Amino acid sequence: MSSISTGRMIDDNSDPVKGRVVWMPAKSIWITAVTSIAVIGGPLTFTWSAFAVFILLTAVTICLGHSVGMHRLLIHRSFSTHIWIEHFLVYLGTLVGMAGPFGMIYAHDIRDWAQRQRDCHDLFAHRRSFFIDAFWQMHCTAMLDHPPRFVLGERERRDRFYRFLEATWMAQQLPLALLLFTLGGLPWVVWAIAVRISVSLIGHWLVGHFAHRDGHQGWSVDDVAVQGYNLPRFGLMTFGESFHGNHHAFPESARLGIEPGQLDLGWYFIRLLASLRLASAIKLPHRIAPRRGLKRVNASETAGDRANPPWAREIGL
């Protein structure tokens, strides 16, 4: 079965459907361990200061680290910045506890490649029931019989800092845990490490599960296995990542909340970097080529508005 090549995924007569779901011991043990510590230790060690540190570090690592650093910058290259800022943001993304930089790129790209085909494996499409999908996404992987060939970019492959993070991504929690223990004792460690990681990973799965099944849809793409949907009520707490329908429409856009009223804190941070002359080459929907088969749905925008869409008028860069 011939498939569509996308970015780092090269089609070698790949098949996005045939394969099996296999348990990943390291991934499963990691998630089970931090979640168990969070469930058991969280109530026993609760303090308001630990809770405050949990909220602060979750916001910083998810927004600046995962959404801006890993997703928009490292994976999609939706903007450019100084290498030390890029390294810092990706480091924060590694602290989310999901994977190292190369693992994040691969996990994103194989899913994106599969979803762009006319059909794909149920794991990539989030088609199974709530609890089955939860187990699959957080404890397993899809081993395709004929997967695409993954070619990591030379820029990332040769980066020593990224190679170091990839080899030590789980251990990166240890220096942070030591600092937290010094400042706030065991409660800070439990809440700002175990509770934060478990909430972040479960939250990431929840967004992926629901944003690929139903919701607000301002855009659709023809001849693909999976559509993306927006979850407007969760825009604030996901820092813009819940506007997944917009992301499917414009994957390279640095701004995810492109419709009026869609709050995207990750985009505000990128704008801040730009105002400080620390970000450039910012990609936005009206500056990039539209995806093949992209259609506007359920919108009041007319054909004439495309020359001056709402997000273009609001950017002011």
Tokens representing 58 are 């979750």
The whole-model pTM stands at 0.92
- Name the residue among 270, 272, 264 with its Cα closest to residue 243: 264
Instruction: Report pLDDT for 77.
Output: 97
- Whole-number Å distance between alpha carbons of 159 and 118: 35
Instruction: Report pLDDT for 289.
Output: 86
Instruction: Report pLDDT for 3.
Output: 56
Instruction: Report pLDDT for 24.
Output: 97
* Cβ neighbours, 10 Å, residue 213: 15
For the chain (317 residues), the mean pLDDT of every run of 10, in chain order, is 68 92 97 98 98 98 98 97 98 98 97 96 97 97 96 94 98 98 98 98 97 92 96 94 96 95 96 98 92 82 44 43
Contact criterion met (CB below 8 Å) for 295 and 220: yes
Helices assigned H by DSSP within the chain: 25-44, 48-59, 83-94, 101-115, 122-125, 130-139, 154-157, 160-168, 173-189, 196-211, 244-249, 265-275, 310-315
Angle at the Cα of 68 (from 232 to 200), degrees rounded to 5? 65
- Whole-number Å distance between alpha carbons of 273 and 225: 36
DSSP secondary-structure letter at 81? Answer: E
